[in-house]
Amino acid sequence: MSTAAARHQRLHAELRSRICLLDYPPGTRLSETALADEFGTSRTPLRRVLARLEDEGLVESRHGVGTLVTDVDLARMEQVYGLRLHLAELVGHLDPAPVTAEVLAGIADHVARGTALVASPDARSFAQLNMDYHGFGLSLTDNLPLRATAERLYFLTARIWLQSIPRMDLASECAIFLSEMQDTAAALATGDTEAAAAIRRTHIAMSVTRMAR
């Protein structure tokens, strides 16, 4: 990967993370000048990143206003979650990656972070761990189109949980998340990526049900 491409990826990942962690809540205007100054880049590569985020549905460009962070379209998200459920299951069927020592170390690290989160529940830390765990889950398949599609849909829905947490039981959510990761660790310890994918699908479905209450 070239230096310019790597810079694009880093900047895109950072801005996407800020949007999904609500550092930039819906309606926030993203100043090209301020961001270019912050990241020490010209406005041209920044515009490419903003165009990519717009294509992903996370920002929108309005004439005379600028680039604004979008709000979550809950009606549309029902369909997105429905597709995410099927894609989560496909991770265990389409080109499953071998369960290596590195994979086992990765799930162990996530379980350790989940254990710490249960001891000290925090909404932002939960959201960050969930984001990282999603990336780990996608590493369980070598099917690149599946990874790309699942990643795009995940980040469309990632903000919903943080917006819902004021009416949810944070401590309970942290405990449920830890249980999911522990069950996944047990499945991967036997090399069963299909079971790991089924666990992910089940927990996505249960999470949607809890958020809808």
Q: Are 46 and 34 in contact (CB under 8 A)?
A: no
Stated pTM of the model: 0.92
- Predicted pLDDT of residue 1: 66
Same domain, 99 and 157: yes
Give tens-digit pLDDT for 133-179: 999 999 999 999 999 999 999 999 999 888 888 888 999 999 999 99
Last residue of a domain, one of 47, 69, 91: 69
Same domain, 96 and 200: yes
Same domain, 131 and 32: no
Give tens-digit pLDDT for 91-146: 999 999 999 999 999 999 999 999 999 999 999 999 999 999 999 999 999 999 99
The structural domain count of the chain equals 2
> Cβ of 150: how many Cβ atoms within 10 Å?
22
Same domain, 113 and 62: no
Our CA angle for 203, 106, 109, nearest 5°, is: 85
